[in-house]
Structure 1
Amino acid sequence: MIYKVYYQEDKKFSPQREKTQSLYIESDSPITARRLITEHTNYNIEFIQPLEGNHLEYEKEHTNFELVEFN
């Protein structure tokens, strides 16, 4: 499944809506997605949203949709 992850760049600072960013990741579950991101970044994850159906198609057509892969 593909997830949209909302995050802040750094865990040291309090979250601010204006600085929230997002990325797209493919994973078996939101727990696995969170684990992958926290192992490879210092992001403060705010929310993980599953994308499917029309919502996924909308994101692909109307955003800078690119799946992030961590090696």
Structure 2
Amino acid sequence: MIYKVLYQASQTEVPIRERTESLYVEANSVREVRSKLSDRKINIEYIQVLDGAHLEYEKSTGNFELENV
């Protein structure tokens, strides 16, 4: 499955919507996504599973690139 991870680049600052970034990770569960990203110094806000039409939409935006974790 492919997951979209919404995060803040800094763990020490208060999350601000305008600074939210996203990345895409392939994993079997949300727990696995968190495990794969545990070495990064980011503040994960939300992890969303992408499938079907939503996945196709994300691919069509031009910002879709799977992280190699």
Given the two structures, how large is their TM-score scaled by the length of structure 1? 0.92
Structure 1 residue runs of 4 or more that deviate by more than 6 Å after TM superposition:
none
Structure richer in helix, relative to its length:
1
What is residue 48 of structure 2 aligned with on the other side? 49
CA RMSD of aligned residues (A): 0.8
Q: Which runs of 5+ in 1 are unaligned?
A: none
Give distance in 2, aligned partners of 1:42 and 1:63: 26
Percent of aligned positions that are identical: 49
Aligned residues: 69
What is residue 12 of structure 2 aligned with on the other side? 12
Alignment of 1:19-58 (within 5 A): 19-39=19-39, 41-58=40-57
Give distance in 2, aligned partners of 1:3 and 1:25: 5
